[in-house]
Amino acid sequence: MPNSSFAIDVASIKQMESIPLILRMVKATTGLRFAAVARVTESRWIACAVDDDAGLELDVGSERVSAQTLCDQVRRMRRSLVYGEGFYELTRSDYPVCAPSDIPSAQSHISIPIITADGQFFGTLCALDTASVVLNEQNVVTTLELFAQLIASNLDLHDRLRRSESQLGESIEIGRLREQFVAVLSHDLRTPLSAVRLSADALHGDVSENRRRVLADAIRTSAARMSALIEDVLDFTRCQLGGDVSIKPRRVADIFGALEPVVQEVRLANPQANIVFQHTGAATLLCDPGRIKQLLSNLAANAVAHGLKGGPILIKGQVNQSTLQLTCTNVGQPIPESLLGSLFEPFTRTKHDSPSEGLGLGLYICSQIAKAHGGTLSVCSSEQATTFSVTLPIRS
User: What letter does residue 154 receive in the DSSP assignment?
Assistant: H
In the chain, where are the structural domains located? 7-163, 167-240, 250-393
pTM, rounded to two decimals: 0.47
pLDDT band of residue 237 (cuts 50, 70, 90) is: low
Question: What CATH number should be reported for the domain whose range is 7-163?
Answer: 3.30.450.40
* pLDDT above 90 coverage of the chain, percent: 30
| DSSP structure string for 73-107 | HHHHHTS-EEESGGGHHHHHTT--B----S-TT--
Residues 81/98, Cβ–Cβ less than 8 Å: yes
Cα four-point dihedral sign 95, 98, 102, 103: positive
> pLDDT tens digits, residue range 16-58?
888 999 999 999 999 999 999 999 988 888 999 999 998 888 8
Report whether pLDDT(143) > 70. Answer: yes
CB 130 within 8 A of CB 181: no
* Domain 167-240 top-level CATH class: mainly alpha
Question: How far apart are alpha carbons 299 and 289 in whole angstroms?
Answer: 15
Average pLDDT score, the chain? 80
Query: Sorting pLDDT into bands at 50, 70 and 90, what band is 8?
Result: confident
Going by pLDDT thresholds of 50, 70 and 90, the confidence category of residue 2 is: very low
In the chain the beta strands, taken as DSSP E runs, fall at 34-40, 44-52, 63-65, 81-83, 108-115, 121-129, 250-252, 274-280, 285-287, 312-319, 323-330, 376-381, 386-393
Taking residues 350-356, report their average pLDDT. Answer: 50
Q: Cβ atoms within 10 A of the Cβ of 337, count?
A: 8
The DSSP string of 328-375 is: EEE-SSPPPHHHHTTTTSTT---TT--GGG--S-HHHHHHHHHHHTT-
- 142: which residues sit within 8 A by CB, 6+ positions away? none
- pLDDT one-digit tens code per residue, 71-88: 888 888 898 888 887 776
Where is average pLDDT lowest: 33-47, 75-89, 104-118, 284-298?
A: 75-89
Q: Does residue 3 register a pLDDT over 50?
A: no
Using 50, 70 and 90 to split pLDDT, how confident is the model at 342?
confident
Q: Which amino acid is located at 310 in the chain?
A: G
pLDDT at 1: 45
Buried b (16+ CB within 10 A) or exposed e, 14-29: eebeebeebbebbbeb
For 250-393, CATH number?
A: 3.30.565.10
Helix, strand, coil in percent for the chain, rounding step 5: 50, 20, 30
H or E, element range at 56: none
